[in-house]
Amino acid sequence: MVLTCEGLLSTYPEAWQAATVHPFLTQCQQGTIRPAQFNTWLVQDYLFVTQFTRFVGRTLAAAPDEHLDILLSGLNALQDELNWFREKAAERSLDLSTPRQMTCQIYCEFMGSLVNAPYAVQATALWAIEYAYNQGWQLPGPMPAPYTEFADRWGNPGFTDYVKLLANQADTVLAIAPPGEQAAAETAFLRVAALEKDFWQMAYNAAV
C-alpha cells in the first residue's frame, strides 16, 4: 500500500492529537496563559524557525523542478515570519540571543539530520511540521488579543492552502518512493508528532 499524508493521519490519530492539542493552546484561547510561558514559547519558536528555514532551504535543494514554486513561496513567507518574530520579541522586550532549550535543540538536530534523507522523507516532514501548527493554532477556535495574530499566522486560509499543497507534493513523491523510503517517511512523521508535543510542553519548563 502506498503511504499518503492522509493515511498517516488516519493510522496515527493519537500521536497527531498529542501534537496539536495542548493546554498551552487552550490557555491562549482562554486568555489565561501566563506571559512568562507564552514568552518562553515565543523565543524558542523564533530559534526553531531560524533552523526550520534552513531545513526548507535544504528540502528545496532536493526538490524536482515542479515543486520549486511552492517551496519558494514557503521561504518567502518565512522571511516575513522571521522579521515578525523579531518585532514581537521587541514589543515584549525579549532577548532572542537566549540559548535553545533541550527540546528545541533536539528538534533542530532532527531537521538537520534529514539533510541526507530522500526528498520524499523531507517533503513528508515539511508537511507534518507545517500542518502541526496549522491545526494546533486553529483547533481551539478564535483567540483573544494579544494571541489573535499568532493564531491567524498559522491558522489563516492562505496558510491552510499552502499546507494542502505541501501534502500534495509529498503524496506525489511518496507514490513512487520505494518501500524503504516510505517507511522512513512514516518514522519522520511520528518523530515530528512527538517533537511537536514536547515543544508545547517546553513553554512550561522555564521562564525566559
Interatomic CA distance for residues 184 and 176, integer angstroms: 14
- The cell for 176 is 513512487
Which residues of this chain interact with ligand HMH, rule CB under 6 A? 45, 48-49, 129-130, 132-133, 196, 199
Min dist CB 159 to ligand HMH, Å, is 9
CA distances in angstroms from 117 to 65, 96, 113, 181, listed in the order given = 18, 30, 8, 9
Nearest residue to ligand HMH, by Cβ distance, number only: 133
Query: Do the annotations mark residue 87 as ligand-binding?
Result: no
Closest CA to 60 of 115, 104, 106: 115
Residue where the block lists cell 517507511: 183
Query: Do the annotations mark residue 81 as ligand-binding?
Result: yes
Closest CA to 85 of 139, 131, 154: 154
Min dist CB 152 to ligand HMH, Å, is 14
Closest CA to 124 of 77, 55, 200: 55
Give 129 or 167: the residue with its C-beta nearer to ligand HMH.
Answer: 129
Question: How far is residue 186 CA from its own chain's centroid?
Answer: 16
Interatomic CA distance for residues 49 and 30, integer angstroms: 26
Give 120 or 132: the residue with its C-beta nearer to ligand HMH.
Answer: 132
Which residue out of 66, 91, 186, 196 is catalytically annotated? 196
Min dist CB 199 to ligand HMH, Å, is 4
Please say if 181 is a catalytic residue.
Answer: no
- The cell for 156 is 489563516
Interatomic CA distance for residues 47 and 54, integer angstroms: 12
Min dist CB 2 to ligand HMH, Å, is 26
Query: Do the annotations mark residue 69 as ligand-binding?
Result: no
- The helix (run of H) or strand (run of E) holding residue 177 is none
From the annotation, which residues make up the binding site for substrate?
45, 81, 130
Catalytic residues: 196
From the annotation, which residues make up the binding site?
45, 81, 130
